[in-house]
Amino acid sequence: MKLSDLTQRAGEWLRGSGPMCEVVISSRIRLARNVAGFAFLSRCSAPDRQALALRLRDSILAAELAPKVLYVDLADAPELDRQLLVERHLISKPLAVAEGARGVALSPDESMAIMVNEEDHLRMQVMRSGLQLDEAWEQINAIDDSLESRLDFAFHPRFGYLTACPTNVGTGLRVSVMLHLPALKLTGEIEKVFRAAKDLRLAVRGLYGEGTEATGDFYQISNQTSLGKSEQQIIDEFRTLIAPKIVEYEIHARRMLLNERTSALDDRVFRAIGLLRNARLLTSEEVLFLLSHVRLGINMGRVKDIDINTVNELFLLTQTAHLQKMQNKKLEGDARRAARADYVRTRLGAG
């Protein structure tokens, strides 16, 4: 398996299948772990960091966590590859631009990604399409067990698994669901969701996590409390309460748009299709914004001639690094925007 194989398709989590997939794009669970006896990364000397990276890589590969695991040494990887991994949600932006020994281990279907030497020594994540938190937990728990039989994780009887930042201490668990909420955005009710999330101590972030804008009406909602509740408790809250509630709001808003503002809804959807099929220069933000409306139109049965999978793939393949990787050359400015518009027109079969 090579990194360039990834540019041809979307990962499993973006396949648009799974429960509640009309609104829930993906479910993600991550665990933060540190190896006992090594300082946390902000205080880790360069040789220790190197030794740690090697040791973690060997432990991960020996654990045979997936049929074929690809380990990418990020200190050696070109910038474009690192950006590609960020766009695919396989590594974080901070890890992409960090310095020193670091890496990521991936399963071929991209459901598993284990970051090495990020903020914590290990940041493991499992991603699934739709609302599949129990399945994701089962997988990541097995990964954790397997690594734990090979490594000594820093653990405190009172604080639980120890992390560099005390906000992740305890379970080291972060559950997040990526939601597509275009109707709540159009009806202006999204603010209510934000307020409710805040009251429930949940964080709302954009498509690419911390500090990113909510482009294309995608929102990541995640827990902030990792101590004092069991893993199952945190997951159950998401699975039975939080996610279904927000999905219900969004479906309600979609129904309202359909019944009371049909022309306005159709206008949005078909304007977006018109632009995507005819534009000659497109920025990635504009594509996300327009695809979001097309996706809404398909999910509501307003658009029949575009496949949902095409739209899901375009969300990813029109991003800057993907575009350049596919064309196998560096593209900037208008050349990049033109290449993006060309690619969109080819995929949507018009213009």
| Helix and strand totals (H; E) in the chain | 13, 10
Single residue of 75, 196, 227, 338 touching other proteins by CB under 8 A = 227
Least distance CB 207 / other proteins (angstroms): 24
Read off the amino acid at residue 12. E
Q: Which two tokens stand for residue 173?
A: 């668990």
Residue 87 or 144 with smaller CB distance to other proteins:
144
Contact characters 207-226, other proteins, x per CB under 8 A: -----------------xxx
The structure tokens 């609302």 sit at 131
60 near other proteins, judged by CB under 8 A = no
CA atoms within 13 A on the CB side of 186: 27
Contact characters 61-100, other proteins, x per CB under 8 A: ----------------------------------------
Distance, in Å, from the CA atom of 300 to the CA atom of 183, rounded to the nearest integer, reads: 11
Instruction: List strand residue ranges (DSSP E) for 84-213, in order.
Output: 103-106, 112-116, 122-129, 155-156, 160-161, 173-180, 202-205
Distance, in Å, from the CA atom of 179 to the CA atom of 290, rounded to the nearest integer, reads: 16
Distance, in Å, from the CA atom of 59 to the CA atom of 122, rounded to the nearest integer, reads: 11
> Of 66-74, 229-237, 239-247, 269-277, which part binds other proteins (CB under 8 A)?
229-237
Distance, in Å, from the CA atom of 2 to the CA atom of 28, rounded to the nearest integer, reads: 24
> Binding-site residue total for other proteins (CB under 8 A)?
48
> Of 63-71, 108-116, 168-176, 332-340, which part binds other proteins (CB under 8 A)?
168-176
Single residue of 4, 8, 167, 278 touching other proteins by CB under 8 A = 167
Residue 11 or 172 with smaller CB distance to other proteins:
172
Single residue of 9, 17, 48, 350 touching other proteins by CB under 8 A = 48
Least distance CB 47 / other proteins (angstroms): 7
Single residue of 5, 58, 138, 152 touching other proteins by CB under 8 A = 152
Single residue of 7, 139, 171, 284 touching other proteins by CB under 8 A = 171
148 near other proteins, judged by CB under 8 A = yes
Read off the amino acid at residue 87. E
43 near other proteins, judged by CB under 8 A = yes
Single residue of 4, 8, 230, 346 touching other proteins by CB under 8 A = 230
Residue 154 or 294 with smaller CB distance to other proteins:
154
236 near other proteins, judged by CB under 8 A = no
Least distance CB 317 / other proteins (angstroms): 36
Single residue of 9, 17, 39, 244 touching other proteins by CB under 8 A = 39
List the one residue out of 60, 66, 57, 70 whose CA is nearest residue 1: 70
228 near other proteins, judged by CB under 8 A = yes
193 near other proteins, judged by CB under 8 A = no
Whether the CA torsion 14, 15, 18, 22 is positive or negative: it is positive
- Written in H, E and C, the secondary structure of 305-348 is CCCHHHHHHHHHHCCHHHHHHHHCCCCCHHHHHHHHHHHHHHHH
Kind of pairing between the strands at 70-73 and 202-205: unpaired
Q: Which residues contact 77 (CB under 8 A, 6 or more apart)?
A: 3
Q: Which residues bind other proteins (CB under 8 A)?
A: 34, 36-40, 42-43, 45, 47-48, 119, 141, 144-145, 148-150, 152-162, 164-167, 169-171, 173, 201, 224-233
